[in-house]
Amino acid sequence: MPKMRRKGDLPQKMCAQCGRPFAWRKKWERVWDEVRYCSDACRRAAQRGEPARLPGPSASG
């Protein structure tokens, strides 16, 4: 039987549009090297040429 992985041990990437980290999903198993965006909304925004919404410095402080 294959060894199970914990959710915290899954590979992660940074979204090319919003800069948020996202983790590996089973449905991306065969195309993980090609996945660039965390969601369909980020993928569509990138295709429309909208500027990246990268997280900036926090306003608190």
As given in the structure block, the two tokens for residue 21 are 């980290």
Dump pLDDT digits (tens) for 3-61: 777 877 889 999 999 999 999 999 999 999 999 999 999 999 999 988 776 665 555 54
Sort strands 12-14 and 21-23 into parallel, antiparallel or unpaired. Answer: antiparallel
Supply φ then ψ for residue 22, to 5 degrees: -140, 150
Instruction: Summarize the chain as % helix, strand, coil (round to 5).
Output: 30, 10, 60
8 A C-beta contact, residue 39 and residue 21: no
Q: pTM for this structure? A: 0.69
Q: Which neighbouring-strand residues pair with 21?
A: 14
